[in-house]
């Protein structure tokens, strides 16, 4: 396996090698993380609502652990389908205003499972260029043709839909909020196109669930599209602060997935204690509105302070604020300098983003105070000047 050494060297020389680093939580300070000896303001977590350390979730998990034991012991089709699943899926369907819901082990497996269950050879999937890797991998797993349209370019999508008019099944799939750019998909236009071309519409609410919608249902429901979106997918690993994923839709869709989604069929059920924790998180997501409100206000303040400081940041109002610096080395240096100044904000490089668009991806949390954020912008600005990303 000599090639490994050579290939790793290629990665290293291009500043593209990734190494796993340890980040420890800071008890009772959900907006922070510890790296090495340093306590850092965590601007790189997806714990948008600050729920990851919520005592009520932890208590629900602990109680379920004592009743249900550590592991589920088998897949849901065998003997792993424990009572907490039934309770959670009923609550999820009600929350999403859908007939039925199905829990998956995580978002990656949900996307892979749903896409490969809905389309196969001879079909086509229309997918935004910036969609999450789990969608791309789901399409590959399905063996359907991958028709990739330029980011949020509805005219390009229309051209591709025309080109593939005669395909058997057509699936349009998009992130609702794009994970590395923080901008929104054009869901209203997508809903109109899907109707016009007789396609299925699937929306991944990984970065919008918990944040948009009256009860945090996501962008689709905020826009009143519950019946236009055929497949609502989201994760419990971001805003919910826990782990896992859901798919909501018609009873027929869920019945089909129970029979055809291989990541669900051929993998052990999540630990029941985790399912109980998700149920509690779902209660909190629906009722603690202040978390969403505070998060969106904080995102607005952070974005506009960065702009005022002279940075060009991505558009939108989401808690994902990308600061595109271009090359990999600059992104890595920027991130290290931020760490020295007490801020955890990782550099995002290809292949996660396109070549030449390496960036610092800031993500905010309801756990941050406005003061912490404006103070952070001051430090980010000084580093920007020192690194030559900003003019002084
Ligand atoms: C994080 C993410 C996923 C994967 O979810 P996990 O639960 O972390 O596996 C899927 N889609 C999008 C858009 C994501 O950002």
The span from the CA of 200 to the CA of 231, in Å, is: 8
Residues sharing a CB contact under 8 Å with residue 185, sequence separation 6 or more, in sequence order: 128, 152, 174, 175, 176, 177, 178, 203, 219
CB 91 within 8 A of CB 246: no
User: Could you tell me the distance, in angstroms and rounded to a whole number, from the CA of residue 178 to the centre of ligand 1?
Assistant: 11
The span from the CA of 283 to the CA of 113, in Å, is: 26
To test the ligand 1 pocket, which listed residue (127, 130, 238) has its Cβ within 8 A of the most ligand atoms? Answer: 238
For ligand 1, atom 14, name the residue with the nearest CA: 206
Q: What is the CATH number of domain 8-42+289-386?
A: 3.90.1150.10
* Ligand 1 touching residue 206 (CB < 6 A): yes
The span from the CA of 48 to the CA of 318, in Å, is: 10
pLDDT in tens, the chain (392 residues): 999 999 999 999 998 999 999 999 998 888 999 999 899 999 999 999 999 999 999 999 999 999 999 999 999 999 999 999 999 999 999 999 999 999 999 999 999 999 999 999 999 999 999 999 999 999 999 999 999 999 999 999 999 999 999 999 999 999 999 999 999 999 999 999 999 999 999 999 999 999 999 999 999 999 999 999 999 999 999 999 999 999 999 999 999 999 999 999 999 999 999 999 999 999 999 999 999 999 999 999 999 999 999 998 877 899 999 999 999 999 999 999 999 999 999 999 999 999 999 999 999 999 999 999 999 999 999 999 998 888 76
Going by C-alpha positions, the residue among 386, 377, 9, 349 that lies closest to residue 180 is 349
The span from the CA of 354 to the CA of 181, in Å, is: 11
CA angle 356, 182, 148 (to 5 degrees): 65
User: Could you tell me the distance, in angstroms and rounded to a whole number, from the CA of residue 235 to the centre of ligand 1?
Assistant: 6
To test the ligand 1 pocket, which listed residue (134, 241, 319) has its Cβ within 8 A of the most ligand atoms? Answer: 134
Specify the DSSP class assigned to residue 256: H
Going by C-alpha positions, the residue among 163, 162, 116, 165 that lies closest to residue 143 is 116
Task: Look at strands 245-249 and 100-104 and give their pairing.
Answer: antiparallel
pTM equals 0.96
Q: Please give the order of strands across the beta sheet that includes 245-249.
A: 100-104, 245-249, 231-235, 200-204, 170-175, 124-128, 145-149
pLDDT of residue 312: 86
User: Could you tell me the distance, in angstroms and rounded to a whole number, from the CA of residue 239 to the centre of ligand 1?
Assistant: 11
The span from the CA of 113 to the CA of 135, in Å, is: 10
Q: Which DSSP string corresponds to 2-31?
A: HHHHHHHHHHHHTT--------EE-TT-TT
Atom of ligand 1 nearest to the CA of 243: 7
* Ligand 1 touching residue 207 (CB < 6 A): yes
Atom of ligand 1 nearest to the CA of 132: 13
Mapping DSSP to helix (H, G, I), strand (E, B) and coil, where does residue 139 land? helix
Going by C-alpha positions, the residue among 65, 63, 81 that lies closest to residue 73 is 81
Specify the DSSP class assigned to residue 155: H
Specify the DSSP class assigned to residue 377: H
Specify the DSSP class assigned to residue 270: P
Every domain of the chain and the residues it spans: 8-42+289-386, 55-287
For ligand 1, atom 5, name the residue with the nearest CA: 107
The span from the CA of 177 to the CA of 234, in Å, is: 11
User: Could you tell me the distance, in angstroms and rounded to a whole number, from the CA of residue 104 to the centre of ligand 1?
Assistant: 12
Cβ neighbours around 375 below 10 Å, total: 15
* Ligand 1 touching residue 205 (CB < 6 A): no
Going by C-alpha positions, the residue among 311, 314, 296 that lies closest to residue 130 is 314
Two tokens at 300?
A: 């607005």
User: Could you tell me the distance, in angstroms and rounded to a whole number, from the CA of residue 232 to the centre of ligand 1?
Assistant: 13
User: Could you tell me the distance, in angstroms and rounded to a whole number, from the CA of residue 196 to the centre of ligand 1?
Assistant: 29
CATH 3.40.640.10 is right for the domain spanning 55-287? yes
The span from the CA of 220 to the CA of 226, in Å, is: 6
The span from the CA of 188 to the CA of 229, in Å, is: 10
In b/e form, how buried is each residue of 249-280, taking b as 16+ CB within 10 angstroms?
A: beeebbebbeeebebbbebebbbbbbbbbbbb
The span from the CA of 93 to the CA of 86, in Å, is: 11
User: Could you tell me the distance, in angstroms and rounded to a whole number, from the CA of residue 108 to the centre of ligand 1?
Assistant: 6
CB 251 within 8 A of CB 259: no
Mapping DSSP to helix (H, G, I), strand (E, B) and coil, where does residue 301 land? helix
- Preceding amide of 351 cis, omega within 30: yes
């Amino acid at each position: 396996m000599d090639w490994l050494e050579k290939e790793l060297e290629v990665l290293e020389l291009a500043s593209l090698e990734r190494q796993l680093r340890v980040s420890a939580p800071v008890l009772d300070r959900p907006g922070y993380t510890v790296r090495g000896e340093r306590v850092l303001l965590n601007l790189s977590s997806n714990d948008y609502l600050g729920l990851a350390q919520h005592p009520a979730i932890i208590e629900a998990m602990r109680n379920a652990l004592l009743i249900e034991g550590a592991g589920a012991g088998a897949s849901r089709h065998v003997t792993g389908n424990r009572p907490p699943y039934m309770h959670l899926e009923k609550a999820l369907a009600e929350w999403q205003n859908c007939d039925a819901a199905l829990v998956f082990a995580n978002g990656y497996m949900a996307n892979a499972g749903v896409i490969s269950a809905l389309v196969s050879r001879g079909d086509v999937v229309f997918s935004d260029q910036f969609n999450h890797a789990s969608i791309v991998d789901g399409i590959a797993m399905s063996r359907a043709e991958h028709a990739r349209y330029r980011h949020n370019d509805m005219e390009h999508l229309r051209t591709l839909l025309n080109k593939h008019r005669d395909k058997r099944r057509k699936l349009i799939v998009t992130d609702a909020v794009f994970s590395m750019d923080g901008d929104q998909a054009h869901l209203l236009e997508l809903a109109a196109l899907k109707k016009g071309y007789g396609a299925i519409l699937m929306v991944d609410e990984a970065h919008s669930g918990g944040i948009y919608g009256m009860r945090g249902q996501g962008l689709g429901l905020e826009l009143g599209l519950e019946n236009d979106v055929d497949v609502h997918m989201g994760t419990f690993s971001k805003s919910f602060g826990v782990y896992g994923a859901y798919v909501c839709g018609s009873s027929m869709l869920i019945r089909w997935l129970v029979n055809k989604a291989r990541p669900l069929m051929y993998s052990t059920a999540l630990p029941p204690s985790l399912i109980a924790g998700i149920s509690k998180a779902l209660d909190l997501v629906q009722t603690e509105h202040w978390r969403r409100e505070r998060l969106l206000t904080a995102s607005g303040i952070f974005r506009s302070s960065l702009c005022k400081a002279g940075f060009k940041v991505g558009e939108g109002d989401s808690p994902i604020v990308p600061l595109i610096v271009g090359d990999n080395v600059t992104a890595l240096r920027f991130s290290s300098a931020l760490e020295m100044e007490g801020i955890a904000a990782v550099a995002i490089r290809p292949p996660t983003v396109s070549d030449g668009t390496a960036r610092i991806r800031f993500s905010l949390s309801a756990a941050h105070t406005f003061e912490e954020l404006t103070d952070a912008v001051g430090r980010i600005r000084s580093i920007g000047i020192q690194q030559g990303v900003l003019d002084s």
